[in-house]
Amino acid sequence: MSALALTWHHARYQLLETVRVPIAVVGMMLFPALALAFFVLPQQEVAQSPTAAAAAVAQLALFAVMSTFTFTYGAGVAEDRALPFDAYVRTLPAGPGARLGGRLVSGLVLGLASLAPLVLLGWLFTAADPGVGRLLLGVATVLVAAVPFLCLGLAIGYGLSTKAALAVAQVVLFPLAFAGGLFLPPQMFPAWLDTLSGFLPSRAGRDVVVQAVLGTGATAQDYVVLAAWTLALGALAVWVYRRDEGRRFR
C-alpha cells in the first residue's frame, strides 16, 4: 500500500473515531458561532459595520481553528497514547509518516468544519461581506496562522498524560485567545497589554487574518512573530515526539 493510501486510511479512521462522539464535534463547531451570536450580534454598531463585522468574524475564525487544533492534537493525541492500540500501531514497520499525516488531515477537516457555522452566521446576520476571493483567502490564511497551535497541540499531546494535556490545553488556549485580541479588538486594550500582545502568536495570527479579509491590519512584525513561533513550537513538537518515541519504543 502506498504512503498516500496509508495516510488516507489513518485520516479516515481518526475522523470516524471523532464523529462517533457527536457532542465533541457539535461543541467544536458551535462554540465560536455562539460567541459571535452572544458578543457581536447584540452590538449593532459592530454587526452592521462591514469592516468591524468582518474583523470580528475573522478573529473568531482564528479562535475556532486554533482551539480545534489545540484540543484535537493536544487532548486527542494524549488519549490515543493511553490506548494499547496506539502503541501497537507505532511499532509497525510502516513508519510514523502516515500516522502523523492522517492526524494532520483529520485536524484540517475538523478545523474547516468549525468555520462553517461561524461564517454562515456572519453572512446571514452581519454586514460582513468581504467578497468570495477575500473569504477564500481568509480561510486559507486562518489555517496557516493556526499552524503554531497545531505544533503546540502536538507538543502537549505527546508530552503529557490525558488529564494533564486537557488541563494544559485549556490553560494555554484561553489566555492566548484573550490577549491576542480574538474576543475583544486590540483597540480596546490598555497600552501595556497591546504591547505584550504584539509578541504573541494569537495576536500576530489575528492581524494577518484580518489583513487577508480586509486588506489592512497587519505589519511586518506580525509575519516575523508568526514565523518565529511556528519554528519554535514546531521544533518543540519534534523534540517531544522523539523523546516519547525513544522512551516508549526503543
pLDDT tens for 137-189 read 999 999 999 999 999 999 999 999 888 998 999 899 999 999 999 988 888 89
pLDDT, tens digit (0-9, with 9 covering 90-100), for 211-239:
999 988 889 999 999 999 999 999 999 99
Residue with more model confidence, 27 or 133: 133
Cell of 122: 456572519
| pTM tops 0.85 | yes
Question: Is 60 exceeded by the pLDDT of residue 249?
Answer: no
| Greater pLDDT, 86 or 131 | 131
Cβ atoms within 10 Å, residue 185: 15
Helices and strands counted in the chain (H then E): 13, 0
Q: What is the DSSP string of 156-181?
A: HHHHS-HHHHHHHHHHHHHHHHHHTT
Q: Is the pLDDT of residue 208 over 90?
A: yes
- Percentage of the chain beyond pLDDT 90 is 45
> How confident is the model at residue 19, as a pLDDT?
82
Neighbouring C-beta atoms of residue 199, cutoff 10 Å = 13
H-run or E-run covering 62: helix 50-73
Angle among Cα 106, 111, 117 to the nearest 5 degrees reads: 130
Give 186's DSSP letter: G
Cell of 82: 493511553
Q: What is the pLDDT of residue 102?
A: 87
